[in-house]
Structure 1
Amino acid sequence: MKRRIYLFILSAFLLSSCAELLQVVQTIDTERPLTQTEVVSGLKEALKIGTDSAASRLARQNGYYGDQAVKILLPPEAAVIVNNVHRLPGGEKMLEDLILRINRSAEDAAREAGPVFYRAITQMSIQDGFGILRGEQDAATSYLKNNTYQQLFNLYQPKLKTSLDKKLIAGVSTNQSWETLTTQWNRLAGSLAGQVAGLNKVEVELDTYLTDKALEGLFLKLAVEEQKIRTDANARVTDLLRRVFGK
């Protein structure tokens, strides 16, 4: 009888010891230093998730147009049109339609942003990875913007220009709508009445301006997604993200 009691106590002790040992091993594994591969892979995964989320949000209807943080308005050079558009017959409606078309074009182009970002993400080095991990809340976004902006612009602009030429509303493209508005405005500005009023003509490459603004909005949304992953454990949807950003 005593022997059975001893065996029971010994078994309980061994089981308890095994459980404690397993907990120690798991703690050691969790706290082991991150490898270079884990850091870079984690950051690339975070950027892919972030860019997917940012691009998909902007690609929805009203992704740009309905979000005041990224809504694209006319270029600053066109402020003279905005301030005096009431001088044109039907000018206010024409202006609002144009802004809607511009944002619809950006939403259309945002659908193609993912692959462009993916190619840039694959270029991240080990040194870049550790610098980003220890950097500011938007360090990954800043890295992507500072190192690939021109490449992204060159890849993004043709897609956006195609979108601008697409007949989206009432069979009229954004470029046609912009040309109609500026042509009428420049005609007024060049008239005697326009010269007396001191009105200036507007000469702006719409696709260049719109590409800059569309990318600006995209990077803004990407920074928001990056901050979520850095600060909100619930946003770390994979084991790798939890391990890298949990540090």
Structure 2
Amino acid sequence: MANSIIGGKSKNISTTDIASGLREALNLGIEKQVNSLTQEDGFYKNDLVKIVMPEELQKVDLALRRVGLGSLADEGIKVLNRAAEDAVKEATPIFVDAVKDITFDDAKSILLGNDDAATSYLTTKTQSALYDKFHPVINESFTKVGADKVWSNLISKYNSLPFISKVNPDLTDYVTSEALEGVYTMIAVEEKEIRTSAAARSTKLLQSVFQLQD
């Protein structure tokens, strides 16, 4: 077994174990944190990842509330989050597969990096491909959870108001990007917990690997 020398001390742990430990940490984040996003209100009631009206539609939200359609605006936000919650169920295996791509060469630099170094690595390596795979899932989820009907009604109501500029937003693109950001955010939460709290290292492999960066 090859030794790793970190902080001037020789540790009887190989780069293979380090890579395996990082994969285990990310998989734990997926299992614990990302799966929580698939539950009802997993996005909607989680302030870290809740999807709100996109900036260009803030005027829609305000205009509808001014004319007494606040409940419609609220429902519009809720169904965006419902679509994300539904889609993450389908996309989780993609993230699991992506974790396998961490190489031995990258393992040590990731371990000694910031509290979200492994998550950042995963984001860089997978974001483009995951977007392409996630986008059609979100599109299907819009129909599945009824978001398409809610937003068709919402936009129709807004566009019928006097003295406004009509809108036709690409909500599938927006929710896809926000849902991906939410997934990475929650993986980072778990990674930081494992890095900073010995109690969160639930296996011997996690304990032996992450004590190297303590």
- The answer for the alignment partner of 2:205 in structure 1 is 240
Q: How does 1:40-189 map to 2 (within 5 A)?
A: 40-88=19-67, 91-166=69-144, 168=145, 173-188=146-161
CA contact (8 A) 1:55 1:113 kept: no
Cα distance between partner residues in 2 of 1:217 and 1:149: 12
Q: Any idea what the Cα deviations from partners look like across 1:164-222, whole Å, max 9, x if unmatched?
A: 111x3xxxx1012112211221232xxxx41xxxx322221111100111111111111
1:206 aligns to 2:171 (yes or no) = yes
1:37 is matched by which residue type in structure 2?
T
Scaled by the length of structure 1, the TM-score of the pair is 0.78
1:42 is matched by which residue type in structure 2?
G
Cα distance between partner residues in 1 of 2:11 and 2:188: 29
- The answer for the alignment partner of 1:6 in structure 2 is none
Cα distance between partner residues in 1 of 2:20 and 2:47: 34
2:18 is matched by which residue type in structure 1?
V
| CA shift for structure 1 position 234 | 1.4
| CA shift for structure 1 position 64 | 0.9
More helix, by proportion: 1
CA contact (8 A) 1:62 1:107 kept: yes
2:69 is matched by which residue type in structure 1?
G
Scaled by the length of structure 2, the TM-score of the pair is 0.89
Unmatched 5+ residue regions in structure 1? Answer: 1-30
CA contact (8 A) 2:83 2:142 kept: yes
Number of residue pairs aligned between Structure 1 and Structure 2: 203
CA contact (8 A) 1:137 1:230 kept: yes
TM superposition outliers: structure 1 runs of 4+ over 3 Å: none
CA contact (8 A) 1:229 1:235 kept: yes
Alpha-carbon RMSD across the aligned residues, in angstroms, is 1.5
Seq. identity, %: 36
Ranked by relative contact order (alpha carbons within 8 Å, sequence separation 6 or more), the top structure is 2
